[in-house]
Every structure is written in C-alpha cells, then in structure tokens.
Amino acid sequence: MSASEKYLHSFNTLAIHAGQAPDPLTGAVIPPIYQTSTFVQDGINVLRNGHEYSRGSNPTRNGFETQLTSLEAGHAGFAFASGIAAEDALLRAVLEPGDHIVLGADGYGGTNRLINRLHGKWGISNTPVDITDLSAVAAAVRPGATALLWVETPSNPLLGIADISGWAKIAKAAGALLVVDNTFATPFLQRPLTLGADAVVHSTTKYIGGHSDVLGGAVIVADRFFRGETLAQAVGFQQFAGGAVAGPQDCFLAARGLKTLGLRMERHCSNAAAIAEWLLRRDEVSVVLYPGLESHPGHALAKSQSNGFGGIVSLQFAGGEAAARAFAESTELFALSVSLGGVESLVCYSSEMTHASVIGTPLEVPKNLVRLSVGVEQVEDLIADLEVGLAAARRASLVVASA
C-alpha cells in the first residue's frame, strides 16, 4: 500500500511519508540525495528501477514529486528548476501556435512576461481578465482558439480571490484547460484539482521550500486527456525533452521543507490575520488587503474553497507612494526583498520589485502598495517592527505634504 493510499485524508502524515520512505538499502530514515547524473545499466537498456539519466528520472526528484502530488490530490507531478521553468514547460507541453489564453490580470509579473514576451513570439495570444468576474472570464473565451485559462488565487499582490470551480466550468465548456497557480495558498489551504482545475503550478521557492534557500517549481496534473495524450504524458515529455529539471539537492531541500508545510502555514495564517487586524486600525493605512478580513470582497469565497487565508498581507498607504517607499525601506524584521513564503518576514514594494514588467500597462500595481510576506516569528515582535515602518511612513507623508 502506498503512503498516499494508507493516509488518504491526513495532510501532515502524507507530507512526511508520501514519497519519503526510509532507504531500503541502509535503513536511513531520510532517503539519500541521489547526486548522480547517470545510472549503471545491467545490460544495454536494462535499467534498474527505470533510472537511466537524471534528466529523465532521479529518485530524489521522484520522491519529492510523489510527496507534492499526493498533497495536491493530483495524478502526476513534475519538478522543475524554478516556478517559471515549470510554467514554461506546462505552456509548451499543451499549447500550439495560434492558441489563446484567458489570463487572470492580477498575477505574478513574471508569469505575464513569460506568456507575453516569450510565448507571444510563438503565436500565443492572451486576454487579461478580472479574476473575480466570471462573466468577464466567460466573455474572454474565444471559441475554437482558447486552449487555456490561467489564474492565480489568492493573486499577487492584490490578493483577489477567484472562484476556482466557476473558472473550471468555463474552461470545461470551452474544451480548454484550467491552470491554477497555487503558490500563495499551497495545498494545505486549497486543492484546485479537487475543484475542477486540470493542472496546478507552484513556485516551490516559496511556501513549499519554506526557508528561502532553494529555487524550484512544479506542475501537478489531473488525470486528463488533451490533444491526443494525457497531461501527465505531455508534461512528462516536456520535462525530459526540455530539460529544465530540478536538481537532486534542490529537491531534497524542497522535500524537507514540504514536511513542515502544515505547521508553518498555520502560523503564517495566524500571524498574518493578527497583523491585518492591527493594520486596519492604523490611520497611516488606507487599505488592508487580506482575504481573512470580513471586509475583503472575496472573504466568503475564500472561506468556502480554502482552509485558511494565507500569510500574505498587502497594504496601501494614505500618504501615497512616498509613505509606501519609506515604510518598505525602514522595517528590519520585515527584510526588504522580493519573494515570499519563507519562515522569515519580508516586505516588498511590488510595483517596482516584482511587477516592474507591467509598469505602464493596465496591470500596473498601485504605487502606494507594499506586500508583506508574514513569517513565523513571534507576532508581537513583527508588530513592533511594523510600528517602526509606520512611523517612517508618517514622516514621509509630512515631508510630501509640506513640500
């Protein structure tokens, strides 16, 4: 019986055991890192356990893929060198020149850049849509041309909530695939494949690795047939033939991080909720974006499709751009940095740090916004640090007002 069959409903047990059985040769509780490029053959093309060359398969990578696939309730999973490499592989695996994508407008800037500037060259077009407006999503579908719908929820950095089942119905009716970027929620909070999505992508760099020490990405697919093959065949072939695989050291780190995802997410969520509530009471802040707040327009939907609201909080400053910049440059525990999802808190000035590629377009992020990736430190310490940031924001607003 595989670990996933034995512990079907228990997330934390699966996180530790699926794909991570002790080494049968030595009994090592932690499976070894198979730091090898190639595998000896017992005769020409007589492979041991199917392993030939690490671009095709590697036991450390395969163990991590099994672990993550079981947590996402997927059919097959594939690990890549970065989140963007995973996204690229999925797009190449399923699209053909001339295809059209309905693309959630509020999403990671790099995804937008990949789809527009790399895939655009190969004849892929897209229509950006408000992720919260299902009628706009349906209206953006071009019958016969739309092959893919792509959404990130919660979105980066505006924390909009998309109705995954609603998107899935529209995709199905169009004969297209629905891809959900589940990086922010993680499978601990939300499993898009159980809500009708066809594929999930992750930047495993974020919560899955969880310690800001590894880059990685993954595609997890449902058991679906598309354009004459299964998604597992299409993405698996792309992983092998395109070659942007995750290396064994990186998979080891990601697998180690994934074991504590549930524990970390509980703390990320409770810290973020406390901080969002605290920020709501501050005059320096004009808007707090956090799906856990009852005032958030996607609160009820997030509650219905997720087990929690995540660790990301975005805020907008009454004092405008100057206040946002001063805040981002003055906190200490919240280190000024791109990325998110590690145990340590980070602050990001999104419009110029992660979304510079959409400046000047309708997708531009407001200039008075900062995004917090709330870590798992003691929440009182984090709030004291935010207090320092707000004081700097206040001073910056006064300077602008008196100028």
| Active-site residue (options: 92, 206, 264, 394) | 206
Selected binder of ligand PLP within 108, 167, 290, 309 (CB under 6 A):
108
Min. distance of Cβ 39 from ligand PLP in angstroms? Answer: 28
Is residue 300 classed as helix, strand or coil in its secondary structure?
helix
Give residues 334-363 in contact with ligand PLP (rule: CB under 6 A).
339
Active site residue 325: no
| Active-site residue (options: 88, 99, 181, 198) | 181
Stretch of 8-16, 47-55, 82-90, 237-245 lying at the interface with ligand PLP (CB under 6 A) = 82-90
Min. distance of Cβ 110 from ligand PLP in angstroms? Answer: 5
Tell me the residue number closest to ligand PLP, measured at CB. Answer: 83
Selected binder of ligand PLP within 152, 163, 198, 250 (CB under 6 A):
152
Size of the site for ligand PLP (CB under 6 A): 16
DSSP structure class, residue 121: G
Is residue 213 classed as helix, strand or coil in its secondary structure?
coil
The DSSP string of 186-239 is HHHH--GGGGT-SEEEEETTTTTT-SS----EEEEE-S-EETTEEHHHHHHHHH
CA dist., res. 7 & res. 11, Å (int): 8
CA dist., res. 214 & res. 206, Å (int): 9
Hey, what amino acid is at 85? A
Helices (H), 175-281: 186-189, 231-242, 248-259, 261-280
Hey, what amino acid is at 287? V
Contact between 186 and ligand PLP per CB under 6 A: no
* Beta-bridge mates of residue 85: none
- Check: CB of residue 361 under 8 Å from CB of residue 330: no
Site string for ligand PLP, 286-325 (x = CB under 6 A): ----------------------------------------
Report the residue number, 214 or 382, with the smaller CB distance to ligand PLP: 214
Contact between 217 and ligand PLP per CB under 6 A: yes
Active site residue 290: no
Give CA torsion, residues 205, 207, 210, 214, to 10 deg. Answer: -10
Contact between 106 and ligand PLP per CB under 6 A: no
Nearest to 171 by CA among 202, 143, 191: 143
Contact between 88 and ligand PLP per CB under 6 A: no
Site string for ligand PLP, 40-59 (x = CB under 6 A): --------------------
DSSP structure class, residue 247: P
Active site residue 108: yes
End-to-end CA separation in angstroms for the chain = 71
List, by residue number, the catalytic residues: 55, 108, 181, 206
Residues at the contact surface with ligand PLP, assessed by CB under 6 A: 82-84, 108, 110-111, 152, 156, 181, 183-184, 203, 205, 215, 217, 339
